[in-house]
Amino acid sequence: MPHVVAAVLMEGGGPFELAVLCEVFGIQRPELADPWYEFLIVSEGSAPATTNFGLQLSTPYRLADLERADTIVVPAAPMSFEPSAALVDALRRAHARGARIVSVCSGAFVLAEAGLLDGKRATTHWMHTDELTRRFPAIDVDPRVLYIDEGDVLTSAGTAAGIDLCLHIVRLDHGAAVANAVARRMVVPPHREGGQAQFVDLPVPECDADDPIGAVLGWMLEHLDAAISVEALARRSNMSPRTFARRFRAVTGTTPHQWLLSQRVLLAQRLLESTDTPVERIASQAGFGSAANLRQHFQREVGTSPLAYRRTFGSNEAGEEAS
């Protein structure tokens, strides 16, 4: 019997994420695995659902068909979407009987409403992780990763991360060779680890003009290439190091060292995106000192190497990474 994958069609949902599910699970590939998946798109009602781009979609399958699904996927939903009691109950019952429950992007909020993420690690698009944390404090939200596999419940970040999670599921079900073959046909990378970082922006906190922490933050941004210590920053703010560190965390949510490191990585990202400056020089300009030191911190923060990042986001194919 084929493994049944059911995608939930929701009013105002995103067509891209739904199309990814159709591409990965809906196209029959008996030459790769036989049987392949049986793929259903289910809707709560008989009326067509309108996507966030105005496209109207209809399906003959209803929530009752979720009862025979082995894997249920909730794709991206609008932030204003409130799942019905019927949908929440269907997801809970499916999870209780052992079905694998998956969300793509903001679909995580639907799983959260059903209580399926309580006590678990989960992710969603980085733009919405703060909201997921605020609304559902029982969830261990990780804003940086591409996807998280908790066994019975899996969540992914936005857009392309949904492709990564779908290929991960194929890999679990049919092995790496089959997943790689599907990826080649989709012309996408065959495997990105779930722990690889989302590419997120880290905004500078807003501070009052007379706030000494705000002044220090501005000074730090202008001197990212310099050697900076907590003691020196405390002196600039006329505070003791201990008081400064406490005030700094209250404003930024992190330590001076970690904030400085993140801003240095962001500067390196901007230089890799917009210039052909050699990685060794970028390391110096961003305050890392050496390319090896930059690679170490860049890999930890971004989840990839400076060279791979430049190839993905750079304006041209320039600059070889220093070895």
For 254-309, write each residue's pLDDT tens digit: 889 988 998 898 899 889 988 999 999 999 999 999 999 999 999 888 878 999 88
Angle at 168 between CA 141 and CA 77, to 5 degrees: 50
Please give the structure tokens belonging to residue 120: 């678990």
pLDDT band at 43 (very low <50, low <70, confident <90, very high): very high
Q: What is the predicted pLDDT for the residue at 89?
A: 97
Domains and CATH numbers, the chain: 4-186 (3.40.50.880), 212-313 (1.10.10.60)
Nearest to 123 by CA among 180, 200, 16, 66: 200
Q: Are 129 and 143 in contact (CB under 8 A)?
A: yes
- Strand-pairing partners, residue 149, are 154
Q: What are the tens digits of pLDDT across the range 121-160?
A: 999 998 999 999 999 999 999 988 889 999 999 999 988 8
* Strands of 147-149's sheet in order across: 61-62, 38-43, 4-9, 71-74, 100-103, 153-156, 147-149
Q: What are the tens digits of pLDDT across the range 75-88?
A: 998 988 999 999 99
Q: What is the predicted pLDDT for the residue at 285?
A: 94
Alpha carbon of residue 249 to chain centroid:
25
pLDDT band at 194 (very low <50, low <70, confident <90, very high): low
227: three-class secondary structure by DSSP: coil
Q: Are 85 and 55 in contact (CB under 8 A)?
A: no
Q: What is the predicted pLDDT for the residue at 206?
A: 54
Q: How far apart are CA 173 and CA 193, in angstroms?
A: 17
19: three-class secondary structure by DSSP: helix
